[in-house]
Homo-oligomer: A and B are copies of this chain.
Amino acid sequence: MSESRSSIRHGTLAELGEFAIIDLVTPTAPAPAGVRVGPGDDTAEVEVRNGRALFSTDILVENRHFRRDWSSAYDVGRRAAAANMADIAAMGGTATALTVGFAAPGDLPAQWACDLASGIADEAALVGAAVVGGDVTSAEHVIVSVSVLGTCEGDPVLRSGARPGDVVAAAGRIGWAGAGYHVLARGFRSPRVLVEAYRRPEPDYEAGPDAAAAGASALIDACDGLVADLGHIASSSGVAIDVRTDAFEVAEPLQAVGAALGVDPLTFILSGGDDHTMLATFGPEVVLGERWRRIGTVATGEGVRVDGEPYQGEAGHQHFR
Contact = CB atoms under 8 A, between A and B. Distances in A.
Interface of A: 13-14, 16-19, 21, 36-37, 40-61, 64-65, 87-88, 90-91, 93, 97, 99-103, 106, 132-141, 143, 145, 147-150, 152, 156, 158-160, 219-221, 236, 318-321
A145 B57 contact: yes
Contacts of A51: 47-51
Contacts of A137: 59-61, 64-65, 319
B320 A16 contact: yes
Given A53-B53, A101-B147, 19 more contacts: A14-B321, A37-B91, A43-B88, A43-B91, A43-B93, A47-B52, A47-B53, A48-B51, A49-B51, A57-B99, A59-B135, A61-B103, A61-B138, A64-B137, A64-B138, A64-B139, A138-B319, A139-B141, A143-B143
Nearest to A139: B61
B320 A91 contact: no
Contacts of A65: 137
7 contacts: A37-B156, A42-B91, A43-B93, A43-B156, A55-B132, A57-B147, A59-B137
Nearest to A220: B42
Given A49-B51, A133-B57, A145-B57, A14 B91 contact: no
A103 B318 contact: no
Given A48-B51, A91-B45, A101-B101, A21 B106 contact: no
A48 B319 CA distance: 33
CB-based closest 4 A-B pairs:
A59-B101, A43-B56, A147-B147, A145-B145
A219 B42 CA distance: 9
A145 B61 CA distance: 12
A228 to B, nearest CB: 10
Indicate the member of A36, A91, A138, A143 with the most B CB atoms within 10 Å.
Answer: A143
Given A14-B320, A17-B320, A48-B48, A140 B141 contact: yes
A55 B97 contact: yes
Given A42-B221, A149-B149, A320-B21, A57 B100 contact: yes
Contact of A143 (B103, B133, B148, B149): B103
Contacts of A90: 42-43
A91 B41 contact: yes
A9 to B, nearest CB: 15
Contacts of A50: 51
